[in-house]
Structure 1
Amino acid sequence: MTQHIEIEFKNILTKAQYEELLQAFSIQPDQIIRQVNHYFDTSSNHLKQLQSALRIREFGETIECTLKEKTSEHQHLETTDYITREQADQMLAGNRITLPTVNERLELFDIPMNTLQCYGSLTTDRVEIPYEGGLLVFDHSFYLHCDDYEVEYETNDEKIGKIIFSSFLAKHSIEPQPAQKKIVRFMTALNNQKG
């Protein structure tokens, strides 16, 4: 189990900008790691109403279940339990599983685990590199016939992080265009598809 505050800045990229950044930072194919996110909520969207999100993320042999709770514009409290393949399959099938810390947080909001359902998955090809005391992330995500690109900067200091990220965008001639969280983009695409 881990619990920490995540401070991140995100900006949408065009495909060309994404490819230029991969070149500028000499990114090799083996630095691109594929991860798959499976998103959960109740049928009444309780988590969405709380500006929170629950996901299972698979990358390599690692599987984690994370509850993200918004604490400010650029900050989230992340509560994570590492889970087995069997637990992930059970949860994806809509069965209740015991996750010590995630269950505890959900109970604070009166959300029983067995009311959660998976409403879709999003795949991301991700590059992470150390940058100016933080972590620079280049993402190419695909889901529901959509492709999008973004750059993220994760930091421990919101004020300094904002300056570093703004400077990074300016240096690479990228117009500031804050990106919504992946789950929001996924849900928008899902609702458009239903509509």
Structure 2
Amino acid sequence: MSQEIEIEFKNLLTKAEYETLLEKLPFPKDGMKQTNYYFETPDFQLRNNHSALRIRKKNNLYKLTLKEPYQGGLLETHDSLTEDEAIEWIKNKPIPKEATTNQLNKMNIEISDLQYYGSLTTVRREYKENGLIFCLDYSTYNNVEDYELEIESLDRASGLKALGKVLQTFGISKKETTNKIERFFSSL
């Protein structure tokens, strides 16, 4: 089973703040495009379990990921998909994959109850420093554009410290920032 713990800190940005960070921090000039395809049950069982399910297309590879709360972070469970399998999921004909199906079963969620709700496309730029991954994202979904700084860390303390330092250095206010899937569903 492919699983990992994700600890990340996010802050929404204005376009000007995004452009400042792009210019002043060592982000690459060109970003990588990725598209998330989101799934949920009609009665929002995933959200009620503080969880989320997506397929991410990146570099023409497809990965099914279930995110669940876990010890101050998120437990991510992954399964690889072929392009044909991803297309079937998007057509509301989900194909069971072992790792994610096992986790969904623990929440009493039937794979047949899952429905495709839409997609969010991100152009991501990232660099690594002191064991942290700094991500600068420009996302589009449902006629919405947003900009976000995300820092992935191995522990809460170093991630919070790094986020605070970037925000203070560039005079960016701390904003309550929900994750992409929450922002996507709020835009429906």
Query: Which range, TM-score by smaller chain?
Result: over 0.9
- Aligned counterparts, 1:93-172, within 5 A: 93-172=91-170
Q: CA deviation at 1:159?
A: 1.5
Q: CA deviation at 1:154?
A: 0.2
Distance 2:20 2:61 in 1: 30
Q: Check conservation: 1:132, 1:164, Cα contact below 8 A.
A: no
* RMSD of Structure 2 on Structure 1 (CA): 1.3
Q: Percent identity?
A: 38
Q: CA deviation at 1:178?
A: 3.0
**What is the DSSP-based 3-state SS (H/G/I as helix, E as strand, rest coil) of the residue aligned with 1:37?**
strand
- How high is the TM-score relative to the length of structure 2? 0.95
Distance 1:95 1:50 in 2: 23
Q: Check conservation: 2:2, 2:79, Cα contact below 8 A.
A: yes
Q: CA deviation at 1:26?
A: 4.9
Instruction: Give the letter aligned to residue 5 of structure 1.
Output: I
Q: CA deviation at 1:132?
A: 2.8
Residue 40 of structure 2: aligned partner: 41
Instruction: Give the letter aligned to residue 184 of structure 1.
Output: E
- How high is the TM-score relative to the length of structure 1? 0.92
Instruction: Give the letter aligned to residue 22 of structure 2.
Output: L
Gaps in structure 1 of 5+ consecutive residues? 191-195
**What is the DSSP-based 3-state SS (H/G/I as helix, E as strand, rest coil) of the residue aligned with 1:153?**
strand
The structure-2 alpha-carbon separation of the partners of 1:5 and 1:28, relative to structure 1 and needing over 3 Å to count, comes to closer
Instruction: Give the letter aligned to residue 57 of structure 1.
Output: R
Gaps in structure 2 of 5+ consecutive residues? none
Which 4+ runs in 1 deviate beyond 6 A?
none
Residue 183 of structure 1: aligned partner: 181
Distance 1:169 1:82 in 2: 36
**What is the DSSP-based 3-state SS (H/G/I as helix, E as strand, rest coil) of the residue aligned with 1:174?**
coil
**What is the DSSP-based 3-state SS (H/G/I as helix, E as strand, rest coil) of the residue aligned with 1:97?**
coil
Q: Check conservation: 2:40, 2:53, Cα contact below 8 A.
A: yes
